[in-house]
Structure 1
Amino acid sequence: MHIYVKVLKGNEIEVAVSPSHTIEDVKGILEMQFCMPAAQQKLVYKGKTLIDGKRLSDYHISDGDKLFLFQKKGDMSGASTPITPGQVVSPLNVTGSTTVLWDKLYTFLQRHFTKIDAQKVLEEFQKDFYAQLKCLSLDDIERLAANKLRVNANGNLNGHEQMT
């Protein structure tokens, strides 16, 4: 069955679900769609807040029904924590390249800001960076890879895009 989920002052999406799906399952699907951690989500149906452990069928939600999605106020359980220069945090950081990036960015920021302000700017930049990274879908990653790794007919990477 298909239900609709509407975000306040936002868009509405259609979601394929089963009556046996739990509210937690639906929140997991919505986490991927809206890049909002499930812990921050509040789903409402006919004015009633839905409880995680219950099933859609428990609320008599059927094909074509509409749920409303709200973000819980003050719940930042999914927020990332600030990273200091040189700190290894990312599972992508296999070679240490993100550490080098953060160190170089911090050095650059120190030319334009005090050390304290440079640290604050870096922390905000890192929060935004990792929040955006979490929101990437597999399609986004595939498009990014295809754009950055243009392969010619011989199977070699083109010109200046070669990886070192």
Structure 2
Amino acid sequence: MLITVKILQAQGKECSIEVTATDSISSVKELIARELDVPVDQQRLVFRGKTLADGQSLGDYNIGPGTKLHLVVKRSQDEKSGNFQKIPPQTTALWDQLKPVLSKHFKTEDVDKVIHHFQKEFESSISNLSLDDLERIAIYNLERRQQDSDSASSSS
């Protein structure tokens, strides 16, 4: 059977591999390593929000033909040790930006309660999104940020 593996961090990068339901997750990772040049020890396969265990088979997770698995690439040892360029935070947290706005509409003692409630609702909404949904949102925001940056530089 043919399944698709999509790398979440690489925009649109995916491959299709031929497997059987009895193939182990570790053997699938080896196929992925050959196809996508991602070392096995840096791979984490996700299906329906669950990380797939190396000792299990595709059949154990009811993975059939046409299924899409998501590949999360773990950071290499160089990245873990800090031997890479760090990206500085772009903005302050949304929650900090909300306080002055909410202070205009709520009593001071209620602002933290409202923010806490909003955080819980936000986390609940995000947890219901699929990995594909989150990827689309991230790509959209990155493209919008690039467009804003291009507009600002062309108007100066």
TM-score (norm 2): 0.46
TM-score (norm 1): 0.44
**Larger relative contact order, structure 1 or 2 (CA cutoff 8 Å, min sep 6):** 2
